[in-house]
Homo-oligomer: A and B are copies of this chain.
Amino acid sequence: MAGGGAAAAAPPLSSPWRALLQRALDANAHLRHSTYFQLATVGAGGRPANRTVVFRGFQEHSDKIQINTDARSNKIGERRNCPFGEICWYFTDSWEQFRISGSIDAIDGSSADPAKLQNREKAWFASSVRSRLQYLGPQPGVPIIDEEQVKDVRLDPSADPVEAFCLLVLDPEKVRQHFCYTTC
């Protein structure tokens, strides 16, 4: 499904839930956090793990959901034990919840698949330079909140993805949507 196929095949028809999700994204577009959702995985000892991540768009010609992450983060190790995730995406203005579960692929620089590496590169350049800087920090999972931290860090805007940059791709298998006026 990754881009770069030889034949000029027509893109597949979008899944029905895509239209609902797009409507929710449009209705909540004025809110910065409308592109944030919670990604659950199964972590150490088989326990659940849950964190906020940012929607980085769909993979070209597919319904796969892209998320940028740090290759050093727990998410990567967890994926080896259980390659599945469930997104819970709550839109605060339309009171609408999407639960999207599926398998997760993690693409770092060591991938042997040229199409995947190309997608990773696209995701890197689609991020702001400021956003890319977090992958140069000494440890993952620590957002840059102090300008002092980064003022001496230089990043050539045309430079390729750094080693720590990893693209997560969730391939939706099951999607549930409903409105949540009370407990979801």
A172 in contact (CB, < 8 A): no
Chain B residues contacting A141 (CB-CB under 8 Å) are 178, 184
Of A48, A53, A144, which is in contact with the most chain B CB atoms at under 10 Å from its CB?
A48
- Given A46-B46, A134-B182, are A99 and B31 neighbors across the interface (CB < 8 Å)? no
- Known contacts A33-B90, A38-B50, A52-B88; 18 additional CB pairs below 8 A are A38-B40, A38-B88, A40-B48, A42-B47, A43-B86, A46-B46, A46-B82, A48-B49, A48-B85, A50-B88, A51-B88, A52-B97, A53-B183, A53-B184, A69-B183, A141-B184, A143-B181, A143-B182
When chains A and B are docked, how far (Å) is the Cα of A145 from the Cα of B180?
8
* Smallest beta-carbon distance A133→chain B, Å: 9
In chain A between 125 and 141, which residues have their CB closer than 8 angstroms to a CB of chain B? 130-131, 134, 141
Chain B residues contacting A54 (CB-CB under 8 Å) are 182-183
Q: A36-75: contact bitstring with B at CB < 8 Å (1 yes, 0 no)?
A: 1011111100111111111000000000000111000000
When chains A and B are docked, how far (Å) is the Cα of A52 from the Cα of B88?
7
Q: How large is the interface on A (under 10, 10 to 19, 20 to 34, 35 or more residues)?
A: 35 or more
* Smallest beta-carbon distance A65→chain B, Å: 14
A106 in contact (CB, < 8 A): no
Chain B residues contacting A33 (CB-CB under 8 Å) are 90, 92
Chain A residues engaging chain B, CB cutoff 8 angstroms: 31, 33, 36, 38-43, 46-54, 67-69, 82, 84-88, 90, 92, 97, 99, 101, 130-131, 134, 141-145, 178-184
When chains A and B are docked, how far (Å) is the Cα of A143 from the Cα of B47?
28
